[in-house]
Amino acid sequence: LQIVSYQLKNSKTEITLKYQGEEYQIESPLLGEFNIYNLCAALLGAISMGHSFQELLKRVSSIQTPPGRLQFLNFGQPYKIVLDYAHTPDAFSKIYPFLNSVKEKRLITVTGSAGGREVEKRGPMGKIVLESSDFVVFTMDDPRYEEVDSIIDDLIGITKKKNYQRIQNREEAIDHALSMAEAGDIILIAGKGVDNYMAIGDEYLPYSDLEVIESYFKNKKKDTL
């Protein structure tokens, strides 16, 4: 199975595949280059289980995007909001090339790093986030027993860049990023995806990025009435 060519768009991916000497043009709702490889691996796995390649291709267009995985949210806003679980240097290095290829203006990121684990990833991850974003809002992400500012310090490192702000409270950080968004921007809210908790100390408190975003637009609608 060969990937002949592809076009990355912000609502679909157009792909030309070659299988057993024949070329096929398909449209996938999965976004980003990495998802082309994921799709091809899934196709080959299904073929090895006896499924017809042609029948599989008919189903590609109806694939549902996994919640919290490069999930575009639409509340009628003139900019794009992307919810994603990205919380490692590898994940960010895959998602940013796609988002920067489809952005019209700025790419603004809201992110943090979990406390009590993987301290060594923070510096490399923060470097990628700062270099790949036009602006970053660093915030909490399951801090557990660590101080949020200390985690953010690790993410920022010794960079000379000034394209960031720190807002400890994640809900406030998301609201701030959305309030500064303009038409054509992309707001990436990364780290927690559709998790429904925030780990603080030894407690798992109810929390949802998606609910925070929904609440922002509900309140904005009320303000305009």
pLDDT in tens, 83-130: 999 999 999 999 999 999 999 999 999 999 999 999 999 999 999 999
Closest by CA position to 7, among listed 81, 98, 74: 98
Q: What is the pLDDT of residues 17-41, one digit of tens each?
A: 999 999 999 999 999 999 999 999 9
Residue 210 has pLDDT above 70, yes or no: yes
Question: pLDDT confidence of 222, banded at 50, 70, 90?
Answer: confident
What pLDDT shows up at residue 221?
78
Span 139-154, average pLDDT: 97
What pLDDT shows up at residue 195?
96
Span 33-62, average pLDDT: 95
Residue 225 has pLDDT above 70, yes or no: no
What pLDDT shows up at residue 65?
86
Distances (CA, A) of 29 to 1, 11, 78, 157: 20, 7, 21, 37
What pTM does this model have? 0.90
Residue 223 has pLDDT above 90, yes or no: no
